[in-house]
C-alpha cells in the first residue's frame, strides 16, 4: 500500500516541484558555468534601452564573458589556493575599516568645509606663488569661426565678429550659429593656445605662425572651409593672468582646507581618546 501511494503521488510531487521551479526561474538561460546560471533578465538589466541592436549584442557578449571569467577564476582559485590563502576574513575586515573611515571622513568634511573662496583670497595666493603660474604655452582671448569659403554670410561674419559693438556681435553670433560649421566666443575667458590649436587641426606653434595682427586665418588648400580666430588679447610668456589661474587656485585653497580639517580631526580624536583613557600607551619598564 505504501509503495502504491508513493507511485501515485510521486509524479504529482515532481510536477509541483517543476512548477515551483518554473515560477522562481521562469526565464531563459543564456550562459552556464558549473552550477552557476546566467538568466536573460539579469543580462537585460545590464544593457541600456534604446541602443542599436549591434551595440546591444556587443555589450551582451562582453557581459557574458566577464561574468564567466569571474566564476572561472573563482573556481580555479578555490581549487589551487591553500587553506590559509582562502581565508580572506582579515582582508575583509581591513576593507570594512577603511570604508567606514572614508565614509566618516567624507561626512566630517562635508559638514564643516567652507567652499567659499573670495577674489581677495585668490589674489593673495596668486601674488604669493606667482612663480608657480609661469605659462608653458600662450593663452588667448578669441572669437573663433570655421565657415565654408562659398558661404554667402562668410564676409559678414568675419567683419562683425571683430566689432566692439554689441549689436554687431549679436548678429555675428546668430549668423555663425546658423550657417558656420563651428563657432564659439571666448572673448571673456582665457584659452590655452594648445586647446585653440585643436580647432585648427594644428599644433599651437603652427597656429600662431598664421597670426597676422589680431587675426589667425588658416585656409587649407585641400579643404573648402576657412578657420579664423579674432584675437582680442594674448599673453605669450611669463606668469599666466590671474583670471586664468583662478579655478586652479580655488581648488588648491579648498584642498588645503580639507587637509587642515583632516589633521584637526585626527588630532582631536587622539587627544580626546588619551584624555578619556580610551587610548592608553604603556611604557616598558626595564
pLDDT in tens, 97-150: 999 999 999 999 999 999 999 999 999 999 999 999 999 999 999 999 999 999
Residue-averaged pLDDT of the chain: 90
Q: How far is 200 from 208, CA to CA, in rounded Å?
A: 11
State the pLDDT confidence band at 7, using cuts at 50, 70 and 90. Answer: very low
On the question of pLDDT at 17 being above 90, the answer is no
On the question of pLDDT at 18 being above 50, the answer is no
State the pLDDT confidence band at 12, using cuts at 50, 70 and 90. Answer: very low
pTM (2 d.p.): 0.73
User: Which pLDDT does position 112 carry in this prediction?
Assistant: 96
Q: What percent of the chain has a predicted confidence (pLDDT) above 90? A: 82
On the question of pLDDT at 48 being above 90, the answer is no
Pick the closest to residue 138 from 240, 22, 15, 206 (CA basis): 240
User: Which pLDDT does position 49 carry in this prediction?
Assistant: 81
On the question of pLDDT at 227 being above 50, the answer is yes
Q: What percent of the chain has a predicted confidence (pLDDT) above 70? A: 90
On the question of pLDDT at 2 being above 70, the answer is no
**225-235: strand order across its sheet:** 182-192, 139-148, 225-235, 215-218, 211-212
52 or 200: which carries more pLDDT confidence?
200
> Which own/partner contact pairs does 66-75 have at CB distance under 8 Å and 24+ positions apart?
67/31, 67/33, 67/38, 68/31, 68/33, 71/33, 71/34, 71/36, 72/33, 75/33, 75/34
Q: How far is 88 from 155, CA to CA, in rounded Å?
A: 71
Amino acid at each position: 500500500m505504501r509503495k502504491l501511494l508513493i507511485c501515485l503521488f510521486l509524479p504529482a510531487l515532481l510536477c509541483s516541484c517543476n512548477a515551483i521551479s518554473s515560477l522562481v526561474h521562469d526565464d531563459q538561460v543564456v550562459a552556464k558555468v558549473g552550477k552557476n546560471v546566467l538568466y536573460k533578465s539579469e543580462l537585460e538589466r545590464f544593457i541600456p534601452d534604446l541602443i542599436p541592436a549591434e551595440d546591444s549584442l556587443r555589450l551582451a557578449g562582453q557581459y557574458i564573458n566577464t561574468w564567466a571569467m569571474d566564476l572561472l577564476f573563482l573556481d580555479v582559485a578555490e581549487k589551487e589556493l591553500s587553506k590559509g590563502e582562502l581565508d580572506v576574513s582579515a582582508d575583509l575586515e581591513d576593507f570594512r575599516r577603511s570604508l567606514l573611515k572614508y565614509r566618516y571622513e567624507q561626512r566630517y568634511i562635508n559638514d564643516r568645509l567652507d567652499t567659499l573662496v573670495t577674489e581677495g583670497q585668490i589674489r593673495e595666493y596668486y601674488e604669493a606663488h606667482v612663480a608657480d603660474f609661469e605659462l608653458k604655452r600662450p593663452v588667448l582671448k578669441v572669437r573663433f569661426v570655421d565657415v565654408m569659403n562659398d558661404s554667402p554670410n562668410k564676409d559678414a561674419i568675419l567683419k562683425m565678429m571683430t566689432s566692439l559693438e554689441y549689436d554687431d556681435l549679436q548678429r555675428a553670433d546668430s549668423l555663425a550659429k546658423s550657417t558656420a560649421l563651428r563657432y564659439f566666443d571666448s572673448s571673456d575667458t582665457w584659452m590655452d593656445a594648445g586647446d585653440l590649436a585643436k580647432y585648427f587641426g594644428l599644433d599651437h606653434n603652427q597656429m600662431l605662425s598664421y597670426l597676422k595682427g589680431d587675426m589667425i586665418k588658416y585656409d587649407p588648400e585641400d579643404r573648402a572651409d576657412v578657420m579664423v580666430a579674432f584675437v582680442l588679447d594674448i599673453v605669450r610668456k611669463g606668469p599666466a593672468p590671474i583670471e586664468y589661474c583662478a579655478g586652479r587656485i580655488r581648488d588648491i585653497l579648498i584642498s588645503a582646507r580639507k587637509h587642515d580639517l583632516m589633521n584637526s580631526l585626527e588630532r582631536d580624536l587622539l587627544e580626546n581618546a588619551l584624555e578619556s583613557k580610551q587610548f592608553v600607551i604603556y611604557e616598558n619598564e626595564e
